[in-house]
Structure 1
Amino acid sequence: MTRLSVAIRLRLILGVFGLIFAVLAVDLVRAQWLDPVVAPEWGNGVSPRVVPVEATRGVITDRNGVVLARNVPDYRLVLIPGLLPSEVEPRRAMLLELHARTGVAIDRLVQATDTHLARVDPFRPVVLEEHIQTEQAIALRSSLAGLHAARVEATSDRRYETSGALAHVIGYVAPIPADRAAELQKAGYSVEGRVGLTGVEAVYESRLRGEAGRRLILTDPLGREVGMLGDNPPRSGSTVELSIDLALQRTTEAALRRGIDAGLSIVRTVPGRPQPVPGGAAVVMDVNTGEVLALVSLPSYDANLFNGSTDAQAFERVLRDPGHPLVDRTYMETRSPGSIFKPLVALAALEEGIATADTRITSNGYISVANEYDPSIRYIFKDWAVHGSMDMTRALARSSDVYFYLLAGGYREGGREVFRGMGADTLAKWARLGGFGRPTGIDLPGETGGLVPDSKWKEKTIGDPWLLGDTYTYGIGQGYFTVTPLQMAVLAAALANGGDLLAPRVVRGIREDGRFLPNGRQVTARLPGTPAHFETVRRGMLAAAATDGTAFTGVPTDWQAAAKTGTAEFGQPYPDGEFDTHGWFMAYGPFERPEVAVVVYLEYGVGSTHAGPVAKEIFEAYLATRGGPSRVSQPGGTP
C-alpha cells in the first residue's frame, strides 16, 4: 500500500469522525439552547434549562437627538405553573393562597395553569399582571415570600415623551395580537412579547427589536436557579433617528390647531344638519431629499394609552371619537384638493400644447355652456370673482376657475370649437404623472393612493356617462378626484426641484454599532416638463404669493416663496345652495433655491383665509431654525 493511499484513507476516517461530532454538537446546541422544553435531569433533581433574555428595544429620536420613545423600568407578576403541586387539592389550596396574597382572581389563576404553553413548558412564566407600580411591586414581593410558584419580575415598558404630537408618526408597541401570534412565535417572539403595530414602531420593528439572548442555567426540583452553564447575551435594538424636527413639529401642531378653530368659525348651524367634526393635517418636507421635517394630523391621541397601563375608559374614548384620531390625515385620508391642483393642470396644458404662457382667457365671473342635446338649456359654471383678461401667470396668481375650466374641457359655442381643452383622460394621465392615484412610498404603514378618475371610470363605477361639467370640475381639483396632503407635498417638491417625485421619509437613518446608516434619497418617478414650462408654473405660484395674489397670507414678510391656495366644496348644500369647504395651502421656498415644501389641509375653512396663516407660521418657525429669513425683495405685483 502506497504512502499516498494511506494518507487518503486516514483523511477519510478523520472526516467521518468529524462529521459525527458535528452532528452531535448541533443536536446538543438545539436541545440545550433552542428547544424551550425541560431537558432530562442531571441527577439529584438538578436540571438544565434554557431561559430567554429579552433584548432592550432601541430608542427613537428626532433629527437632533431628542429622545421621543424610550424604555422605562416596569414590573409584572408572573406564575410558574410547574411549581404548583400536581395533586388536585394541594394545587387548589395554593391557588387560593395566591389569590389571597395577590388579589388575582381565581379564574385567572386557573386559566394561567391550563394553557397549551403551560402544558408544553410548565416552568415558563405566565404573566398575570403588568405595569405594577414600584411600591406595589415591593409589597407583592414581601407578600409572596415562601411561595415559589409566583414572583414579581423586573421588566421594561415603552414610554412616548411627546404625547399626541408624534403619535401617528412613531406609532406604538402593544401585546402581540391573537391573529399574528403563530407568525411571530415562529420568528422568535415570546408569547408575552410586544411588537410595533403602527407607525415607525411597526415599519422599523426588525431594527428596533434587537436580538434576544439565552441563558443556560441549572435548576433545583423547585425550579430555582442554582447555577449557570452558559450565557448568550441579547443584542439591543438600534436607535432610529427620525427626520422630524421636534420643535418644528410642535409649532406646526399649535398653528394647525389655531387654523382648525378659525375654519370652524364659518360653519353654519342648521337644524338637522350633522355637527362638524374638526380636523386637519400639515406636511413640511425637504424638497431636495424627501425628508419629512414635520407631519401633523389632528385630532391625535396619546400613544401611551396602548401599553395597557392606562385607564381603559380613556382608551375607549379614543376608539369612539368621531374625529377618528387614530387615522393619520396626512396620508391615510383623501379629499378633493381644489385649486392647489391647478399648477399641475397648467403644466399639463403647456406640455400638451393646449396653451402657452401667453394664452389669454377672459373671465367675466362665469361661463355659460349650452346643453349639447338642447341648446336652449344653458349651464352656468361660476368663477369666484370677475378677473378680466389673464395670461397663465395671472390666472395662477388669481386662481381663476374659468381659465382652468377652459384648459381642462375647452369651450364650444354654436357648434364651433372656440377653445380646445385637454379632456378628462388627458387630465387623468397628468394626475398619474404627478404621483396621484398611488401611494407616495412613505415609510409608514397604511398609506392610501387616492382616486384618479377618467371617463371610463365613471361609466363603470357609477353607471353614468362622463360629462363636460365633470371635466370642468376636474380642472379645478374637485369632483371625483381625491388626494392626500402628503401627495400634494410631493408634487410641490417636484415643482421646486425640477420634476423629481421623491419618496417621503420620516426616518433619517439608523444608528447602530457606532455607525450612522442614512435613509437615502429615493426618486420614485419623474414629472415630465421642459425647464421653460416648469418656470412658467413656478412664476405663476410666485405671483400668487405676492400682495395681490390669493396666497399672500401664507408667506413671511420679505421672503419669496411659490404658493397656491385651494378651497374645495364638499358635503350637502345649505338651503341657499352654498357648501362647506375644505381649506388648502401648498407652497415651497425660498423661491430661488428651494429648501422646503409646506402643505396645510383644514377639514373646514378657506385656503387663503384660514390655511394660509397656518403655513406662514410654519415657514417662520422653519426659518428660525435656519437663522432667520433670507432678506430678498418681494415683488410688488403680478406680471
Structure 2
Amino acid sequence: MSRRQCSRARWARRYSHWSQRCCCVRCARDRAGCSSDDDVNLDRLSVLQVAAVIAFGLLGLRLTNTQLLDSAHYARLAASQQIRALPAEPPRGIITDRTGEVVARNRPEFAISVVPGELPRNPARRREVLLQLERHTGVRYDAIELAVTTGDRSVDPFAPITLRSGLDTTGAIAARAQLTDLSGVHVDASAVREYLGGELLAHILGYVGPLAPDQVTAFRRDGYPLDARVGQAGVERSYERTLRGGAGVTLVAADPAGRELARLSTTAPAPGADLVLSVDLRLQRAAQDALRDGIVKGLPTSGRDADGKPALAAGAAVVLDVRSGEVLAMVTAPSYDAGAFSGRVPDSPAVERLLADPARPLLHRAFTEVHAPGSIFKPIVGLAALQEGVATPETKITSTGAILVPNQYDPSIQYVFRDWAAHGKLDFNGGMARSSDVYFYYLAGGYRDEFEGLGADRLARYARAFGLGEPTGLDLPGEAAGLVPDREWKERVLKDGWVLGDTYTFGIGQGYLTATPMQMAVAVAALANGGEVLAPRVATATRRGGVIEPSPRLVRSQLPVTPAHLDEVRRAMLAAASTGGTALDGKPDAVTIGAKTGTAEFGTQLPDGSYDAHGWYTAFAPYDKPEVAVVVYLEHGVGATHAGPVARHILEAYFATPHVAPASTEVLR
C-alpha cells in the first residue's frame, strides 16, 4: 500500500470513530427527551466556555510576560523620561519719583544662551555646536567649552549660560534662524533694567547684578535661580524682595538629551510691586545744580593739601520733610551715570573707570561718609546747656578772640583755644547768631572757676539723643554710624585720657566727633518738629495693582527736653539767619528760616600754618511752621560763604512749587 493510501486509511478510521461517538450522544439525548434546539444551545455554551478559557489564558500569559520578562524594558523607558522645572523670572517692579515720573523700568531684550545638559553627547556634534556659537556670539570656543563643562558638573546642568545679550528684535530673529536647529542653544527674550536720569538718582536707585559668590547660598535658599539678577545697591537692594515679585515655573517632560517632549503645567510669575520714592525729581535737579555750583566756588579756599594733592571737588546735600522723615532730595558729588549699570551686562570699561576714580564717585557722601560737623553741632550743645541749667537765654559770655587753658601738669604751658573773631559780650542768641567758639567753649567745658560747663559725658548723652553715633535707619544700604566720643572711648581706643581741650573741641563740633550730612539733617528736623527723632526714608510707598501702601512714619525717639528750651534754640537759629547773623546768605528773600553755619577744619597742617576746611550749612523752614530741613556739606569751602547759597537755592526751588504728595495714579510698565 502506498504512503498516500495509508494516510487516507488513517483519516477514514478517525472519522468513523468520531461519527459513532456523535451517534451515541444523539441517541442518549433522544432517550432523555431533548429537543434539537436544546442541542444547539448546548453546543454554543461549550464554544463560549472554551473561548473564555483561552482568553483568560492569553491575558495571564501577557501579564506574566509584562511583569517578569518586560519589567526591565519598562523601567528603562520610565527612567528616560525627566520632569524639569523651567523657572520664569517675574517682571521687576518699576520705580517712580513722588510725582509718578518713571526713573527705573524694564526694557525687553534677547540673549543667546546654551544649556550644558542639552548639548549633544557625541563629541564631534558637540564641537560643531560650540563652533557655531563662537561664530554667532563672538565668545571664544575655549571659553564656551569651559563654561559648559563647568555647567555639566554643577548641581543643575540645565541652568542656561548666557553668551551674548542685548540683542534687539531684528538680531534675535536672525540668531534664531541660524541657531534654532542646534541642540542646547536658545535665543530667549528677557527683561533688563533701565535707569533714567543719568547721574541724578544713581546712588538712590542703585542697580541690579548677578549673584556674588557670597550671596549664592542665601538667595538660593530663598528660591532664586543661580543666574538671578538681584539688587546690589540703592533701593534696588533695600527693596529687593518687594521689587522682585514671585517667580513662575513650567513643568516639562524631557528626554534624556534634555529635549522638551511635553508641557505638563505652568504657573505664571507674579510681577513685583512698584516702588514710589519720596524724592521729587524737580527738587533733586535743583539741589544737584546748586551743589555743583557751590563746590566750584568753594574750591579756591583750598588749593592743595599738605601732600600737594589737588583739592577734591565733592559735597552733598539733603532735603528732609521734618514732619514725616521723607527724603525730598539727596544729592552727592561727584556722581556717576546709572546707565553704566543698565542692561544685563554692565558697561565694563565705564564701571572699571568708576572703581578706579580716586574721587570715589560710587560713594554717596550724604550718608556713607562721616566728617566733623563743625558749628552746625552748636544748636545741640546750646539745647543741652539750657536743659541742664548750665545756661539761660540771658547768659552772657565775653569773647576776646581766644581763651587760654594751662596744662594740668605744668601750668606754665598755656594752650590757646581761638575764636574766629573777638565778638565781645554775647547772650545765648548772640552766641548762636555769631557762632562764637568761645561762647560754646564755656557751655561745653566751662572756664576755670568762672563757669561750669556741661562736661564730656553730658555732651555725649545729648549728641546720642539726637541720633548721632549710630545709623539713622535710612532705607539704603551702607549707612555710616559716625562717632560720638567720650572718656571711655578715648581710653579704650586711643589709650589716652580725656582732657579739657577734648571737651572744648567737642563743644564746637570738631575733635573726634564725626557725623554724616543725613544725621545732621535728622538732628535739625528734630529741633524743628518739636523733638521727634525720625527715621528718614527714600521710599514713601509701594504700589501693587494700582493700590498704594504708604510706608509707615517711624519715630526713633523723643528728645529729653522741654518745648520751651526747643523754642529758645529755634529763636537763636532765627537770629543766625537774620541781619548780623552768620547764616543770612542762606535765607531766601520771601521765607523766614532758622539756620546755622559751620566751617570745620580737617586734615594736616598746610605750609602756611592753616588747615583745609569743610563748609556746612543747616536750616529749617518756614520758621513758624517748619516743613523741611536742609543740610549742605562741601568738602572745601566756608559755611556762610559757599554752603549757605547752596541751601538758599534749594529752599527757593522747594517753595517755588507746593509740596507734592506721592502719586496715586497707576503707572504703566
TM-score (norm 1): 0.88
**1:425 equivalent in alignment to 2:457:** yes
8 Å contact 2:137–2:164 — kept in the other structure?
no
Q: Is the Cα–Cα contact under 8 Å of residues 99 and 106 in structure 1 kept in the other structure? A: yes
Give 1:188 shift: 1.1
- Which of the residues 293, 303, 316 maps onto 1:268? 303
Query: Where do residues 75-224 of structure 1 align in structure 2 (5 Å cutoff)?
Result: 75-116=110-151, 120-219=155-254, 223=258
Q: Is the 8 A contact 1:112 1:118 kept in 2?
A: no
Give the deviation of 1:264 after TM superposition: 0.6
Equivalent residue of 2:491, what SS? helix
Residue 435 of structure 1 pairs with residue 471 of structure 2: no
Tell me which of 428, 437, 447 is aligned to 1:392.
Answer: 428
Which residue of the partner structure matches residue 632 of structure 1?
none
Does the 8 Å CA contact 2:305/2:604 hold for their aligned counterparts?
Answer: no
Partner Cα separation in structure 1 for residue 552 and residue 224 of structure 2? 30
Deviations 1:50-94 (A, max 9, x none): 321110000011111111110001111111223322122332233
Determine helix, strand or coil for the equivalent of 2:332: strand
Shift in Å at residue 47 of structure 1?
5.7
Aligned counterparts of 2:625 and 2:609: Cα–Cα separation in 1: 44
1:455 aligns with 2:490: no
- What SS does the corresponding residue of 1:141 show, helix, strand or coil? helix
Structure 1 CA distance, aligned partners of 2:598 and 2:486? 22
- Looking at structure 1, the residues matched to 306 and 314 of structure 2 have their Cα atoms a distance apart, in angstroms, of 22
Please identify, of 200-209 and 373-382, the stretch whose mean Cα deviation from structure 2 is larger: 373-382
Q: Which amino acid aligns with 1:180?
A: Q
The separation in 2 between residues aligned to 1:500 and 1:470, in whole angstroms, is 29
Q: Which amino acid counterpart does residue 509 of structure 2 have in structure 1?
A: G
- How far has the Cα of 1:434 moved from its partner? 1.6
Partner SS, residue 166 of structure 2? coil
Structure 2: 5+ residue runs without aligned partners? 1-74, 661-669
Q: Report Cα offsets for 1:27-46 as digits up to 9, x if no partner.
A: xxxxxxxxxxxxx9988987
> Where does residue 446 of structure 1 map in the other structure?
478
Deviations 1:231-256 (A, max 9, x none): 21110000010111011111101111
C-alpha displacement of 1:220: 6.4
For residue 254 of structure 1, the aligned residue among 273, 289, 299 is: 289
Partner residue of 2:538?
506
C-alpha contact 1:102 1:140 (8 A) present in aligned 2: no
SS of residue in 2 equivalent to 1:182:
helix
In 1, Cα distance between the equivalents of 2:192 and 2:206?
15
Q: Is the 8 A contact 1:362 1:390 kept in 2?
A: yes
1:299 to 1:533, Cα distance in 2 relative to 1, 3 A: same
Counterpart residue number, 2:441? 405
Give the distance between the partners of 2:230 and 2:417, measured in 1 at CA.
Answer: 53
Q: Is contact 1:282-1:297 (8 Å) kept?
A: yes
- Determine which of 56, 60, 67 is the counterpart of 2:91: 56
The one of 361, 376, 379 aligned to 2:412: 376
Change (3 A) 1:127 1:264: same
Tell me: CA distance 1:257–1:382, structure 2 relative to 1, closer, same or farther (3 Å). same
Amino acid at match of 2:482: G
Question: How many angstroms does 1:595 deviate by?
Answer: 0.3
User: Retained in 2: the 8 A contact 1:277–1:322?
Assistant: no
Q: Which of 535, 550, 561 lines up with 1:529 in the alignment?
A: 561
Provide the secondary structure at the position in 2 that maps to 1:241.
strand
Instruction: Give the Cα separation in 2 of the matches to 1:553 and 1:622.
Output: 17
Matches within 5 A, 1:316-355: 316-355=352-391
Aligned to 1:594: 626
Larger mean CA deviation between 53-62 and 181-190 belongs to 181-190
Q: Tell me the equivalent position of 2:522.
A: 490
User: Separation in 2 of the partners of 1:617 and 1:201?
Assistant: 30
Tell me the distance in 1 between the aligned counterparts of 2:305 and 2:465: 42
Alpha carbons 2:303, 2:311 under 8 Å: kept: no
Seen in structure 2, the aligned counterparts of structure 1 residues 470 and 95 have a Cα distance that, compared at 3 Å, is same
SS of equivalent residue, structure 2 residue 275? strand
Which residue does the alignment assign to 2:276?
241
SS for the counterpart of 2:398 is strand
User: How big is the shift at 1:227?
Assistant: 4.3
Displacement of 1:48: 4.8
Distance 1:418 1:271, change over 3 A: closer
User: Residue 575 of structure 2: which of 543, 553, 572 is its match?
Assistant: 543
Q: Distance in 1 between matches of 2:85 and 2:345?
A: 30
Q: What code does the residue aligned with 2:201 have?
A: L
CA distance in 1, matches of 2:299, 2:480: 26
Please give the per-residue CA displacement for 1:410-447, whole angstroms capped at 9, x wherever unaligned: 111xxxx0111111121111111121111111111111
Q: Is the 8 A contact 2:304 2:311 kept in 1?
A: no
For normalisation by structure 2, the TM-score amounts to 0.84
Please name the residue that 1:32 is paired with. Answer: none
- Separation in structure 2 between the aligned mates of residue 174 and residue 220 of structure 1, nearest angstrom: 33
The structural deviation recorded for 1:364 is 1.4
Q: Distance in 1 between matches of 2:659 and 2:175?
A: 55
Amino acid at match of 1:239: D
Q: Give how far 1:100 is off.
A: 3.3
More helix by proportion, 1 or 2? 2
After superposition, the C-alpha distances for 1:311-334 in whole angstroms (9 at most, x for unaligned) are 422111100111111221111111
Q: State which drifts further: 167-176 or 226-235.
A: 226-235
Q: Which secondary structure state, in structure 2, belongs to the residue aligned with residue 620 of structure 1?
A: helix
Question: In the alignment, residue 404 of structure 1 is paired with which amino acid?
Answer: F
**Identical-residue share of aligned pairs (%):** 52
1:354/1:421 contact within 8 Å kept:
yes
Asked which structure has the greater CA Rg, the reply is: 2
Task: Please give the secondary structure, in 2, of the residue aligned with 1:236.
Answer: coil
Closer, same or farther in 2 for the Cα pair 1:105/1:280, shift >3 Å?
Answer: same
Residue 129 of structure 1 aligns to a residue in which SS? strand
Alignment match, 1:26? none
What SS does structure 2 have at the residue aligned with 1:115?
helix
